Amino acid sequence: MRVLVTRPAHSATRTAQRLRDMGHEPLLLPLRQPLHDSAAALAALATTSGAIAVTSAEAIRVLSALGEQLHPHLARPLFAVGETTAEEARSLGFRSVASSQGNGRDLADLVALEKPGTLLYLAGTPRAATFEGRLRELGIDFSVAECYRMQPVVPSPAEIESIFSGPHAQAILFYSRQTAEDFFRVPELRSAVPEHSGIRLLCLSEAVAQAIPTALKKNVEISPMADEKSLLSLLRRL
Q: What is the average per-residue pLDDT within 118-129?
A: 94
Cα–Cα distance list, 145 to 43, 47, 176 (Å): 9, 11, 20
Indicate the range of 6-10, 88-92, 144-148 predicted with least confidence.
6-10
Q: What is the average per-residue pLDDT within 73-91?
A: 94
Q: What is the average per-residue pLDDT within 36-62?
A: 96
Q: What is the average per-residue pLDDT within 119-139?
A: 95
Residue 128: band (very low, low, confident or very high) from pLDDT cuts 50, 70, 90: confident
The per-residue pLDDT for 238 is 56
Cβ atoms < 10 Å from Cβ of 195: 10
Residue 148: band (very low, low, confident or very high) from pLDDT cuts 50, 70, 90: very high
Residue 222 buriedness (CB in 10 A; 0-12 / 13-18 / 19+): middle
Give the pTM: 0.84
For residues 209 and 3, give the distance between their C-alpha atoms in angstroms, rounded to a whole number: 17
For residues 60 and 97, give the distance between their C-alpha atoms in angstroms, rounded to a whole number: 12
